[in-house]
Structure 1
């Protein structure tokens, strides 16, 4: 798409994020009921102007004469007014972790790239379901993309993700601080999807999540590397950091267990926190297809998983 487009392994590929639209287009979304809260639509019955016809009732002084139901009036011999049910778009805010810990991976791609793919799928899913979609990035790159509807909303999110991946620096921001910022600048979002490896999670994040849950449906996708999820075989592991290559030697059982615990501490901490609060949570590794997990989280309109 452009010269700055990444390889999709260690750097985000903007062209791939945009192309993910076709995968979401093939999904079968849950049926929509305009009289109940569903994915992408919140409905409220209002007397007056609206989008969907609800019913008719006897005319009352002050009713808009442009809303008279002439057919029912003719049949009944009495004036009747049409009532409409106004629909308001739902809003999904994707919160994407851009910490340096996300730029790590031993299978297929970095966690940061996998998280970007999941965020793009969520954006395409949301706009297809009729929601506005926005993005907040925190950690190594701080940026807020206000929720926007339709194709332009998803494209804005994809572009912002690629920009954040390219510009991210090694800077730490506690998850609690990012959540506090969200609570102040939520832009009317009724759903929040947090995508993180959990390394930035802290104890104070629990109260911030509780505060958010009072008025927002929160969902969590944890991205982990294979070494964080399974016992590490003994061996020599090449590691590159700041363009310097080193070899990590893990031979003894104690060394390997200690290394795995330090790698996986963040995702275990954040997952446990979410589960204790009743937040629906899914976990994927860097080789998985995020689509199923994103679909499961976003089609859940309030129930617990």
Structure 2
């Protein structure tokens, strides 16, 4: 990949540690890490994050796909005379053709993502994943764009096949990330993720790959319905960003706060056990819902580098068919 000149952010100084806040420079630099993985996943699911896919087309294409019964209107030049002679029924060859698709990243930068008990904040993980996916998609020659949102506003970048569009999208992600804080925010919508998906459904037509990067804070039945609607004519991937503290409270003594109220959790084992069971049940139900509707569900934690996790999940050397 050719070198990209790193432009400066609007703010001269980084607002906080790189594990807490991202800058445009951080996201641009990730283009050099957007390699070593394939957009065909290890799992037997649809292609992931990539721009290239294979679609069945009647007639001539790039590669032979299958032989099927002849249907009036098919190109007679594709009739398989050997199969036709053997079974006594006219059969035709069908081919596949590689076809371009635009990729759209829906990136959550809401206040609920401004959290992390280990190495990274969830908002940083989501930003890095979007940047890695955007650079990789551009590298294989497909259009890429996205929608970044935070519950009070959003910004949409139309998928294009150029670095300027990618940099504009990453710049918006950085801007949304830089305003995150522990201050209480009045949300414009009760469910920001739901509203973001509604808008995505308004702008996406068909044959897109839509990659949603968020946590499960706002995942409910209405969100699932919007994802199902998207999936009717597109591929949809849900990148679940999570923190270990959201699954289990291991600390003997911890104070949790939402910026307005706080609670001290110390020796209450019952509370900790109930919390662990409730979170496990929520995760299991969500995973079952996604599996039921054929929506790949990939988890990314705040424990390690997003690039490392992405390679581990969809490494070109570890695919399963």
TM-score by length of 1: 0.70
CA drift at 1:234: 4.3
- Map of 2:110 onto structure 1: 99
User: Does the 8 A contact of 2:36 with 2:315 survive in 1?
Assistant: no
The 2-side partners of 1:128 and 1:177 are apart by 30
User: Does the 8 A contact of 1:197 with 1:267 survive in 2?
Assistant: no
Match among 147, 163, 166 for residue 154 of structure 1 = 166
CA RMSD of aligned residues (A): 3.8
CA drift at 1:206: 2.3
The 1-side partners of 2:281 and 2:214 are apart by 13
CA drift at 1:10: 2.2
The 1-side partners of 2:13 and 2:147 are apart by 22
Superposition pairs of residues 211-250 of structure 1, within 5 angstroms: 211-229=229-247, 231-239=248-256, 242=259, 248-250=264-266
Q: Which has the higher contact order (CA 8 A, sep 6+)?
A: 2
Match among 203, 223, 226 for residue 205 of structure 1 = 223
CA drift at 1:164: 1.6
TM-score by length of 2: 0.67
How many residues are matched? 261
CA drift at 1:5: 3.7
Provide closer, same or farther for how the CA distance between residues 46 and 156 of structure 1 changes in structure 2, counting only shifts above 3 A: farther
CA drift at 1:137: 2.1
The 2-side partners of 1:253 and 1:92 are apart by 46
- Map of 2:133 onto structure 1: 122
User: Does the 8 A contact of 2:34 with 2:136 survive in 1?
Assistant: yes
The 2-side partners of 1:299 and 1:128 are apart by 16
CA drift at 1:287: 1.7
- Map of 1:192 onto structure 2: 210
Moved more, 140-149 or 99-108: 140-149
Q: Structure 2: any 5+ residue segments left out of the alignment? A: 1-7, 41-46, 64-95
- Map of 1:166 onto structure 2: 178
Q: What secondary structure is seen at the aligned counterpart in 2 of 1:24?
A: coil
The 1-side partners of 2:236 and 2:311 are apart by 14
